[in-house]
Amino acid sequence: FLDAFDPGAPGCVVLDIRMPGMSGLELQRELAERAISLPIIILTGHGDVQIAVHAMRAGAVDFIEKPFNNELLLDRVQKAVAQSVDATNARAKQDKFATRMNSLTPREHDVLDLVVTGETNKGVARRLGISEKTVEVHRARVMTKMQAKSLADLVRIVTQWRTLAREIP
């Protein structure tokens, strides 16, 4: 699994605490060390509170004791996969925004930061010590690079990007 895993693909890992070769908790630790952030569901026939707490603190999204109902496992796997799909989509969106943000020059970043706070072109020019015409040129380039159709769209894009950047590890 570790060698064949595609880090860009959404999914879910179902682990048993007692597996041959490597315990479920050891594999969970190995996944974390490799920065593989798939949701993990732990199964066990030998569960206790200490093991469950350890697994959940290490990032497991669920802990199911054997024997279990197949529908229960299927429901939990479906929820975990949906969570993984959402996280994968959010990372892709963040990467797209990051590419746009990284295409800006330092001066365009300066202009962007002031514009999205509501500063006028005249105010931006005064604060940055440049002409209003220069601000207009930078602002137009920012709008193009960020693929914004309006100032409101630009504010939405930047706010969304900053929110995603805080939420995604």
Domains and CATH numbers, the chain: 13-89 (3.40.50.2300), 103-167 (1.10.10.10)
HSE-up (13 A, CA, CB side) for residue 5 = 15
pLDDT digits (tens, 9 = 90+) for 20-78: 888 888 888 888 888 888 999 999 887 778 888 888 888 899 999 989 999 999 999 99
Which pLDDT does position 168 carry in this prediction? 63
* % of the chain with per-residue pLDDT over 90: 54
Report yes or no: 63 and 30 within 8 Å, Cβ to Cβ. Answer: no
Quick one: pLDDT band at residue 142, thresholds 50, 70, 90? very high
Backbone phi, psi, residue 125, to 5°: -60, -45
Question: Please, which pLDDT band fits residue 117 given cuts at 50, 70 and 90?
Answer: very high
- Taking CA atoms, 3 is separated from 15, 18, 30, 31, 40, in Å, by 17, 21, 12, 11, 18
Peptide bond before residue 7 is cis, with ω within 30 degrees of 0: no
pTM beyond cutoff 0.85? no
Any idea which of 90-99, 101-110, 112-121 has the lowest mean pLDDT?
A: 90-99
Residue 21: the pLDDT is: 84
Work out the pLDDT band at 169, boundaries 50, 70, 90.
low
The b-or-e profile of 79-101 (16+ CB within 10 A means b, else e) is ebeeebeebbeeeeebeebeebb
- Token pair 């060698």 in the structure block, residue: 3
